[in-house]
Amino acid sequence: MSTKLPAYASMAERGWYYTFRSYGLIVLFFLMIPLVVIVPLSFNASPYFTFTHKMLTLNPAGYSIQWYIKFFTDPVWLKAVKNSFIIAPIATLIATTLGTLAALGLTRPRMPLRTTITSLLILPMIVPLIITATAMFFFFSDLHIVNTYVGIIIAHSILGVPFVVITVTATLDGLDPQYYRAALSLGASPARAFFKVTMPLVLPGIISGALFAFMTSFDEVVIVLFIAGPDQKTLPLQMWTNLRYTIDPTILSVATLILILGITLLGGLELVRRRAERLRGIKP
């Protein structure tokens, strides 16, 4: 759909058009400025969170990669990275599987109590994390899975399911059921029709939900504070610990790397989305 203003638009419509876009640019500016600032500060040669005179004058002596070197050589940071890349992918896989199955059930024409079930599934997204973390701590204590990888993975899976349910449900609602029925009429089994016809078309929704579930798990710190032990300290928890006790620009270098990871994942998601549009005959 074209976003250009039509030639017949009135003065009020033109005013709203430019006002809305100007407001959007201002919001984008305030959202992006903190992200832009941390990147050059992560190359600061001084152990401070400020732009030095040498940095402002673009003097090479004011820039250094020492904080990145410290991050990649410090066993404490590397342990946190290892934990994050163990917990987040497993939690994402579980959340994506459960969320996709739930979305398939919720989009059936004769699904009973659809609204109630949907509300329960997205509840972890609505309830404050401190309440969720407290409840999980007492419940997981009875199961003896506090201070274990299993407990953190289950907790992060619960947080990721709502994102998958919402994105996959929205994708399935916009999918024409005639594709699936046509496959069945041509002799395909229900399973084959789903994996060969429905799955490729809803794949962007599944990947979107998986991406949100992954980043939720990768960035989560509140629940980890309650459930994780010293051996399960994740990257966000290590950043929080360093921010409290040993402030140095290593945190900024970690934040920059996480920012690059997020941009890379979003770029991959956009490629998948465009591919799905081509499969459905939709022009970008």
Q: How far is CA 22 from CA 7, 25, 33, 78, 164, in A?
A: 20, 5, 16, 43, 32
Give the pLDDT band (50/70/90) at residue 150. very high
pLDDT at position 203 is 83
Q: Which residues contact 146 (CB under 8 A, 6 or more apart)?
A: 137, 140, 227, 229
Mean pLDDT of the chain: 85
For residues 57 and 92, which has the higher predicted lDDT (pLDDT)? 92
The yes-or-no verdict on residue 136 having pLDDT over 80 is: yes
Question: Minimum mean pLDDT among 100-114, 126-140, 157-171: which range?
Answer: 100-114
pLDDT at 276: 65
Predicted confidence (pLDDT) at residue 46 exceeds the cutoff of 70: yes
Region 143-170: mean pLDDT is 91
pLDDT category, 259, cuts 50, 70, 90?
Answer: confident
Strand partners of residue 63: 44
- Per-residue pLDDT tens over the stretch 264-283: 888 887 787 777 667 656 55
Q: Region 213-225: what's the mean pLDDT?
A: 90
All CATH 1.10.3720.10 domain ranges of the chain, comma separated, are 74-247
Q: CA 236 to CA 129: how far, in whole Å?
A: 15
What six digits make up the tokens of 57? 């004058």
Name the more confident of 150 and 194: 150
What is d(CA 126, CA 139) in angstroms, rounded to the nearest whole number? 19
Residue 229 structure tokens: 């032990």
Give CA–CA dist 277/49, Å, rounded. Answer: 44
Q: Is the pLDDT of residue 4 over 90?
A: no
Predicted local confidence at residue 241, as pLDDT: 86
DSSP codes, 85-148: HHHHHHHHHHHHHHHHHHHHHHTSTT-TTHHHHHHHHTHHHHS-HHHHHHHHHHHHHHHT-TTS
Tally of residues, the chain: 284
pLDDT for 164-178, tens place per residue? Answer: 999 888 888 777 778
CATH of domain 74-247: 1.10.3720.10
Q: What is the pLDDT of residue 1?
A: 43
Strand, coil or helix: 44: strand
